[in-house]
Amino acid sequence: MATTYFPYDEVRDIQIDLVNAIHEAVSKGNNLIAHAPTGLGKTAASIAAALSNSIKTDKTIFFLTSMHTQHKIAIDTIRDIKKKHDVKLVAVDIIGKRHMCLQPGVSVLSTKDFSDYCRALREDNKCSFYSNLKKGEEHTFNTKAAVSEIKEISPVMTDEMIDISSKHEVCPYEIGLIIGKSSKVIIADYYYLFHPRIRDSFLNKIDKLLEDAIIVIDEAHNLPRRIKDLASEKISNVALKRALSEAEKFNKENVIKPIQKIISVIEGYDSEEQEIYVSREDFIDKINEIMDYYDLVEVLESAADDVREEQKYSYIGSISQFLIAWAGNDEGFTRIFSKSKGLQEDFLSLMYKCLDPGIISKPVMDQAFSTIIMSGTLTPTYMYKEVLGFDAVRTKELTLESPFPQDNKLNIIIPKTSTKFTTRGDSQYMEMAKVITQIVNIVPGNSAVFFPSYQLRDDVYKYLSDCEKTIFIEKPGLSKNEKEEMIENFKGYKNSGAVLMGVTSGSFGEGIDLPGDYLKCVIVVGLPLNRPGLETKALINYYDRKFAKGWDYGYVFPAFNRTLQSAGRCIRSETDRGVVIFLDERYSWDKYMRCFPKDWNLKVTLLYESMIRKFFNVKPEEKAKSLNDY
């Protein structure tokens, strides 16, 4: 293994391959795209391998992840490295500015509203936590005390930094930036480097250059979608009417009629179709009939600034933000009007949607010293290289096998039933329920069943009358606390067994860990291939033009990644044993079989009951026993 600051005494053989690959890429200033399955120890491997170069060449590691649990794993890894190698280094954990704010009531604000509110408080000298940071150009005693205390115990989680900053009555976010200046490792969300405006401000405040950055991106299968979301904007009739009420409340007469006209323009796109494409010029021409498009932007923004002096946010400001975005480029974007049913009236929205994350990510990858992206479902790696705009010469692809014993996992494709829209109906739902019931009644422990949608889940659920286990039903839009409470209750059934019925794109299809005996089986029902809407069609056409791979890049591979993420909830450590079932005849078709990782050893069979019984050593005449009985 290359010389690294590896934090542990033992390293797995496959983990050595990842450490060496990262070390080589970073040493040469190159990039690496690594498909590295769950449990391999990606965080330890990446930080340890990158640190040796970072310390030697004075580069900064940016460990980017969207998951709070991964922030903690990264912090713990750095602590272990410092302890084992007696190395002095500072690291900082920075989450969203709103989540670090000590001002009351900011949690209800959107990111954009909070940004405007924070700026207004600072400019008007109304935030004591910010004002306490400096006296003239010098840091105050409070600031120095907070920074010293945090550095003394570095690295710390953001929660600890917030507590210490609160004690000294200074802004936690600004304290994080001060510490970031001397940090070797900065743990943050994707947008700190992939939102152009935020990146420039962030790097400037911590005195770092992108060309001196070693970027490590965890769970990188999420990166294309996250970048596209960051670069997209939308406006709705609901938001416009709130802006109108806001203008009336604050007597902003000069924007009342323009907002009313914009509402009329949005409503004018309403038709029998649920979605239609709208051209950039068509909407701008309609706005120009009200007043000059860019003059209107200035008028709205001026009114929004006045409103923010009275309250934390401004709906008028959101209109201005949308108009600025709408005037952007056509290449790599699409513009769509959509309509959906609301409780009292139709919800109408106009969207400026980013199709190509490479527009944002390529300049970052080109300028950064080295970029490492990794995930347990980063397949196919060549798609991520093309879609994110990696330089072909500087970038290596690596696909690693699972470090866990193959005998611990049984992967089965059951080639019956289908969730295709043309085949859906009660007979299919009854058959799906029958298969699910047969499986979960055999499994000695908890099972999770994931569906392409809540509607399909509910259609199948009503036929699960023969299920012998407690059933947990995931609801849409669960809060963090509700999600944690449900998981804890579900885990409590590990001996008698329960069934969690969720959705591949829901709260539990990704990002939950149920190691050991907490989850023994995952069933993925159907392929999460929704009917292509206008955005997906535009994406397919765009990637056809750019890569001649529109269907794969725009439709099949992103959907299949959700399948693999759901399947990955089972088998989280080398001692776990479990069964993963793919219930849909299409999984056995060549065009979908090719999407599975090569080392998955899939069994295509209708004799699934006997295979599962044999795997768990359950005799046919027995009911599933508690795991404690084996």
Report yes or no on 3 lying in a domain. Answer: no
CATH at residue 164? 3.40.50.300
Query: What's residue 628's pLDDT?
Result: 37
Return the beta strands (E) in 206-302 as ranges.
213-217, 233-236, 275-277
Residues 508 and 476 in one domain: yes
Q: Is the pLDDT of residue 408 over 90?
A: no
Q: Is the pLDDT of residue 314 over 50?
A: yes
Report yes or no on 167 lying in a domain. Answer: yes
Q: Is the pLDDT of residue 3 over 70?
A: no
Residues 476 and 497 in one domain: yes
| Tens digits of residue pLDDT in 183-208 | 999 999 999 999 988 999 999 999 99
Query: What's residue 69's pLDDT?
Result: 79
Report yes or no on 2 lying in a domain. Answer: no
Enter the pTM of the model: 0.91
| Tens digits of residue pLDDT in 73-117 | 999 999 999 999 998 899 999 999 999 999 998 988 888 788 888
Query: What's residue 369's pLDDT?
Result: 97
Q: Is the pLDDT of residue 573 over 80?
A: no
Strands 395-399 and 31-35: parallel
Residues 367 and 436 in one domain: no
Q: Domain range holding 312?
A: 233-354
Distance from chain centroid for Cα 449? 21
Residues 37 and 141 in one domain: yes
Rounded CA-CA distance 214/388 in Å is: 17
Q: What number is the average pLDDT over the span 470-486? A: 89
Type and span of the H or E element at 80: helix 68-85
Residues 283 and 191 in one domain: no
| Tens digits of residue pLDDT in 330-375 | 999 999 999 998 777 889 999 999 999 999 999 999 999 999 999 9
Type and span of the H or E element at 239: helix 237-249
Q: Is the pLDDT of residue 579 over 60?
A: yes
Residues 347 and 434 in one domain: no
Query: What's residue 536's pLDDT?
Result: 95
Residues 221 and 255 in one domain: no
Q: Is the pLDDT of residue 285 over 70?
A: yes
Average pLDDT, rounded, for the chain: 91
Q: Which residue, 354, 385, 416, sits at the end of a domain?
A: 354
Amino acid identity, residue 186? I
Q: Is the pLDDT of residue 517 over 60?
A: yes
Q: Is the pLDDT of residue 630 over 60?
A: no
Residues 365 and 328 in one domain: no
CATH at residue 298? 1.10.275.40
Query: What's residue 246's pLDDT?
Result: 96
Residues 384 and 410 in one domain: no
Q: What number is the average pLDDT over the span 5-30? A: 91
Number of domains in the chain: 3
515 vs 444, residue with greater confidence: 444
Residues 504 and 615 in one domain: yes
Residues 272 and 129 in one domain: no
Q: Report the candidate in 349, 259, 246 with the shortest Cα–Cα distance to residue 299.
A: 259
Query: What's residue 330's pLDDT?
Result: 94
Poorest-confidence range of 232-246, 306-320, 449-463? 306-320
Q: Is the pLDDT of residue 430 over 90?
A: yes
Query: What's residue 572's pLDDT?
Result: 67
Query: What's residue 629's pLDDT?
Result: 39
Which residues are within 8 A (CB) of 513 and not within 5 positions of it... i.e. 6 or more apart? 69, 572
397-421: buried (b, 16+ CB within 10 Å) or exposed (e) per residue? bbbbbbbbeeeebbbbbbbbbbbee
Q: What number is the average pLDDT over the span 507-531? A: 84
Quickly state the pLDDT bin for 1 (edges 50, 70, 90). low
Quickly state the pLDDT bin for 404 (edges 50, 70, 90). confident
